[in-house]
Amino acid sequence: MARPDNARYLESHEWGRLEDDGTITIGITDFAVDQLNDLTFVDLPEAGDKVVKGEAFGEIESVKAVSDLISPVNGEITEVHEGVDDDDFSALKTDAFGKGWLIKVKPDNADELNEGTKSLAEYEKQLEEEAH
């Protein structure tokens, strides 16, 4: 699965992408999905809830671990992906950067997405370092 170069990546393996309408789509990377392996549960907030940059907005569980989902921006959730639920994680497994998105956020300041996040090249370098 090719990682998009128009997204920004968190060290904790979430991604955020600024959309044409000014919202930011947030998800977890293919690497995170692979590491978690057998997904069992996802706890996502509701539309209208606020997210805070660097803080958890939900969590995802597998048979191996429970991981917080971290927001790359401050803002208000405008949409939650209802297709990613306890019974069907196929979108995350097959299209983490497309159909596998988790939430959409109207950011307080879209420029925050570039602060404290990594470019694709920086993120892939991080993955190489973690592999050693």
CB count within 10 Å of CB 19 equals 11
Q: Are 7 and 24 in contact (CB under 8 A)?
A: no
Beta carbons of 41 and 61 less than 8 angstroms apart: yes
Q: Give residue 99's pLDDT band: very low, low, confident or very high (50, 70, 90).
A: very high
List the domains of the chain with CATH numbers: 8-109+116-125 (2.40.50.100)
Contacts of 90 (CB under 8 A, 6+ apart): none
Proportion of the chain above pLDDT 90, given as a percent: 81
Confidence of residue 38 (pLDDT cuts 50, 70, 90): confident
**Cβ 102 vs Cβ 81: under 8 Å:** yes
Quick one: average pLDDT of 38-59?
95
What Å distances lie between residue 6 and 9, 100, 115, CA to CA?
A: 10, 16, 15
